[in-house]
Structure 1
Amino acid sequence: MTGTTIGRLRVEGAELHYEVRGRGPLLLLVPGGTGGADSFEEIVDDLAEDRTVVTYDPRGLARSPLDDPEGPQRVERHAADALQLLDLVSPGASADVVGCSSGAIVALHLLTSEPGRIGRVVAHEPPVVEVLPDAAAHRAMLAQVRDAYDREGPMAAATVLAAGLRRPGDSPDVRPAAELSPRAAARVQRSMADAPYFVGKIIPGFMAYVPDVDRLRALSDRLVLAGGTDSYGELPYRPAAFLAELFGTELVHFPGGHTGLSTHPAEFGKLLREVLDAR
């Protein structure tokens, strides 16, 4: 594996921090939540043994400042950022893409909008709730999140959101919080500063996103839909399970729950490599 190249890329309305490791076929890792490039720090070196791996902080998060922090955030704009980054690293080359949570929504959009540039996509629990039969109920929940944010601030909104993401009948203390390694715990602590932006700007735009289901179906041989072994029935799990059943494809289960990348990095990374190597 070669060393790490760290750089900055000017995109429309923002400046992105990015990192490139390794040599070989191109692989883009798109983080979810408040995570940035560091979300993948425990698995990226292994993946870079035989790939050129690109990680980055999405606009507005960590080291990627926005020109206008109050502006709305759209999946399409984030996907355009990712494509511009791929063009910088390897112009015209095809890339595999792995996305987690909100990053998986970006990965889905890249596949449907740029199929000539995107090879295999692994989408781990993309919360594209608009594909679900009960989408109206989740639309109402998101309206409550926005109302809580406007009235009481980001912490209140995060509480409403967390309740809406749980499986029906669960209470906050049904399961103990997943234990994190010191490295992962420190990473989560660093990312907490971006929680208001994520709840106030990313969640409203991303969870309202409507993917092109017909296009995804046509490209389903290049799409790996994934969920966590511990998150069956939770809202972020359900769209991936629904789409996999709709397309007649396998739902690949990764260790842990929605944040399995952080709670089970070694096992998560091992399975991810197997999935990417399978053709």
Structure 2
Amino acid sequence: MDTGTLDVPGARLSFEVRGRGPALLTILGGGADAAMAAPLADALAGRYTVITYDRRASVRSPLTGPLAEQRIEEHADDARRLLGELGADPAYVFATHSGALIALDLLARHPERVRRLVAHEPPAFDLLPDAGRWRRLEQEVVRIHRSDGIGPALHRLGAETGVTAAPEPDPNLPPWLRDMLARMAVNMETSLLYELRSFCRYVPDAEALRGAPLVLASGMLTKGGPMHRCTVAVAEHLGVTPVELPGDYVGYLRSPAEFAAALHDLLT
């Protein structure tokens, strides 16, 4: 595995590259970083050159200025610059949750950079019939954080979305996993305060994405839940038929070999 950093406007990105073959960029959501994609990357490294990275404003990809509300477009430009720096475009892209929103914007504005995108459970809550309810929840979660802290805020968000917070770092865990969970605790707070509201109100550009090389997917075990509803809503907005991938919202982490095989089929 090769590692490196890339200076982009306003941030320094940390990235990892594994394997050989056509380029495959992964873009994760929330508090996740490249370590969370590592099991999937290892499972795919025999077929692809897998690029994983920590998104801007995370622990290992710090901003060069003060924290501020994050924008989907800025994160998509980071992905574009990373692909250009590594000479990896056009690339296959697998993106999940808020990372899927970023990848949809990348494909819409820079289609020449993306060979095919699998967007997994994009949380485009503004496309749901009860969008107002989700906007109120976003504001409520931020208020809970201010009054009671990050734990109760994430608990409230998870109770509504089905996406639970990462467990506390346990001293008995393997060092790489313990370190990842410690970073995620910081990243999740940043995501909640500076990404949640702006990201969840992002609506993909239907005109730009119609006919694009795109697959919308949700987890088999999230069927009927909010993330599945969002996936269906985005698929209807873009005029495509959604498919299923193994597992739940983190199927790529729980069953990486099975998920990698299914993802490869969708990409090819």
TM over 0.5, yes or no?
yes
Would the alpha carbon gap of residues 213 and 134 (structure 1) be closer, same or farther in structure 2, given more than 3 Å must change?
farther
**Residues 49-71 of structure 1 deviation map (CA, whole Å, 9 limit, x = unaligned):** 23222111111223111223521
Note the C-alpha offset of 1:194.
2.1
Contact 2:7 2:13 in 1 (8 A): yes
Q: Which has the higher contact order (CA 8 A, sep 6+)?
A: 2
> Is 1:60 equivalent to 2:57 in the alignment?
yes
Distance in 2 between residues matched to 1:114 and 1:136, nearest whole Å: 31
- The structural deviation recorded for 1:185 is 6.0
Encode CA deviations 1:225-277: one digit per residue, 9 max, x unaligned. 11111111222221212233455533221122112122222211121112112
How many angstroms apart in 2 are the aligned matches of 1:248 and 1:65?
37
Out of 16, 22, 43, the position equivalent to 2:13 is 16
- In the TM superposition, 1:27-38 aligns within 5 A as 27-38=24-35
Q: Is the 8 A contact 1:226 1:254 kept in 2?
A: yes
Tell me, yes or no, if the aligned pair for 1:60 and 1:69 is still in contact at 8 Å: no
Corresponding letter in the other structure for 1:276: L
Contact 2:206 2:237 in 1 (8 A): no
Higher deviation after alignment, 145-154 or 253-262: 145-154
Q: Deviations over 1:147-168 (max 9, x none)?
A: 222333322321221122149x
1:120 pairs with 116, 122, 130, which one? 116
Alignment of 1:150 onto 2:146: yes
Write the distance in 2 (CA, Å) between the matches of 1:96 and 1:39.
19
Asked if the contact 1:124–1:226 (Cα under 8 Å) also holds between the matched residues in 2, the reply is: yes
Q: Deviations over 1:7-61 (max 9, x none)?
A: 1111111111011223332211111221111122112133222322211111122
Partner Cα separation in structure 1 for residue 237 and residue 73 of structure 2:
24
For the structure 1 residues 262 and 74, does the alpha-carbon distance in structure 2 shift closer, same or farther, using more than 3 Å as the test? same
CA change 1:161–1:133 in 2 (3 A) is same
From 211, 215, 221, the equivalent of 1:224 is 215
Q: Give the 3 Å change call, closer, same or farther, for CA 257–46 of structure 1 in structure 2.
A: closer
Instruction: Answer yes or no: is the 8 Å Cα contact 1:237–1:258 preserved in 2.
Output: no
**Larger deviation: 28-37 or 144-153?**
144-153
Instruction: Name which of 205, 225, 230 aligns with 1:234.
Output: 225
**Alignment gaps of 5+ in structure 2:** 168-172
Q: What is the CA-CA distance between 1:104 and the residue it aligns to?
A: 0.8
Relative distance call for 1:101 and 1:216 in structure 2 (3 A) is: same
Cα distance in 1 for partners of 2:149, 2:199 equals 19
Query: Structure 1 vs Structure 2: percent identity of aligned residues?
Result: 37
| Partner residue in 2 for 1:99 | 95
1:123-142 alpha-carbon deviations (Å, 9 max, x no partner): 11010111222212211111
RMSD of Structure 2 on Structure 1 (CA): 2.3
Q: CA deviation at 1:188?
A: 5.7
5+ residue gaps in structure 1? none
Aligned residue in 1 for 2:196? 203
Are the equivalent residues in 1 in contact too, given 2:135–2:197 (CA < 8 A)?
no
Between the aligned partners of 1:150 and 1:123, the Cα distance in structure 2 is: 32
Secondary structure in 2 matching 1:126 = coil
Aligned mates of 2:46, 2:66 — CA distance in 1: 37
State which of 214, 219, 222 in structure 1 corresponds to 2:207.
214
Aligned length: 259
Is residue 154–residue 200 contact of structure 1 (8 Å, CA) maintained in 2?
Answer: no
Normalising by structure 1, report the TM-score.
0.84
Asked if 1:134 corresponds to 2:134, the answer is no
Q: In 2, Cα distance between the equivalents of 1:68 and 1:152?
A: 27
